[in-house]
Amino acid sequence: MNIVIKRQGDYHKLFHIILNPITDENVTIHLFQPFLRPMDILILTEFIIYQLNTIGRVNLNVENQPVKNYLQAIGLLEVCSPNHFSNNELFQISDYTAMPLHRVNQENMTEYILKTQALFQTFCPEKDLGVLQIALSELINNVYDHSESPFDCLVFCQYYAKQRNIVIAVADLGYGIPLIVNRFLESHGMRKLPQFDAVGWALKLNQTTKSEPHNAGKGLDTIASFIQAIDGTWKLFSDEVKMESSQSGNQFLPNPIQNFTGTVIEISIKVDNLSDIETVEVLEW
């Protein structure tokens, strides 16, 4: 079976296969996109890992040579081949402006986050990158607190030097946010919400379907607050909802990727908007 991907909306073909598994023929992805954002890379990677876990085979033909070079440089083949059953250690990649594609869980997330912060600190040594640590830990913990994903969440981070922009993305194939919220509301005798409203409910302070000590019910609200404070932007794709958030507010749109399963969140941080690292002058006597 040949799957042609020319634009982001075409990823619905991959989610359709996840929802309706094909076991009697090989799936070959023909990727024609001229540019891949971090969230595109995660959607592609989680499909490949899912197929390898369930069917045991999948083929990827990248028709654009620069994109093929990029996917090789960020380690897509390495993370899919040995990693479709379990995690492996962080490895070196040839694209030094990106953090390796990685399956992250609560056991290895601290190591991953610290290495990510250390890498990007080399590009902007004067800036306080504490927001990266907060954003990544909240996103990863949310996956494990709520989504019941069939395998570890996927994380990819990229630094764009020309724009001085850091983009981080986290994806999982578990239950989407609208489903999780409505399942919680129903269990507490409350009425279900339309999907847009369900995502809006999850974004409010102290609204949580399962509060844990590490987030105290403030997961997505924490992300929203920090991104707004640094004038960043973020996108959320979950079930039938796409949300774009910036200083002007949240915009809810129909998800352009039909059959969407799970949740993908992509955060864009402008380095120049971050606070400078405070320096302490030492007086010599």
Q: How confident is the model over 81-99, as pLDDT tens digits?
A: 654 555 555 556 666 788 8
Distances (CA, A) of 258 to 30, 46, 254: 19, 16, 9
Q: Where are the beta strands (DSSP E) in the chain?
A: 2-5, 28-31, 59-62, 98-104, 153-160, 165-172, 233-238, 241-246, 249-254, 263-270
Q: Which letter does DSSP use for residue 164 in this model?
A: T
The low-confidence residues of the chain, meaning pLDDT below 70, are 81-95, 146-147, 149-150, 205-219, 279-285
Name the 3-class secondary structure at 240: coil
* CA 238, chain centre distance (Å): 11
Task: Say if residues 204 and 221 touch (Cβ distance below 8 Å).
Answer: yes
Question: So what's the pLDDT on residue 163?
Answer: 92
At CA 124, angle to CA 272 and CA 234, rounded to 5?
A: 50
Q: Which domains does the chain have, with CATH numbers?
A: 2-273 (3.30.565.10)
Question: So what's the pLDDT on residue 245?
Answer: 87
Q: At what angle do helices 195-202 and 177-187 cross, to 10 degrees?
A: 80
Q: Which letter does DSSP use for residue 24 in this model?
A: S
CA distance 209 to 36: 33
Per-residue pLDDT tens over the stretch 136-195 = 888 888 777 766 766 778 899 999 999 999 999 999 988 899 999 999 999 999 999 999
* Helix/strand/coil percent split, the chain, to 5: 40, 20, 40
Give the global pTM. Answer: 0.88
Question: So what's the pLDDT on residue 213?
Answer: 44
Counting Cβ atoms within 10 Å, is residue 230 exposed (0-12), middle (13-18) or buried (19+)? middle
CA distance 217 to 206: 5
Counting Cβ atoms within 10 Å, is residue 16 exposed (0-12), middle (13-18) or buried (19+)? middle
Number of other CB atoms surrounding residue 191 within 10 Å: 7
Question: So what's the pLDDT on residue 167?
Answer: 94
Question: So what's the pLDDT on residue 166?
Answer: 93
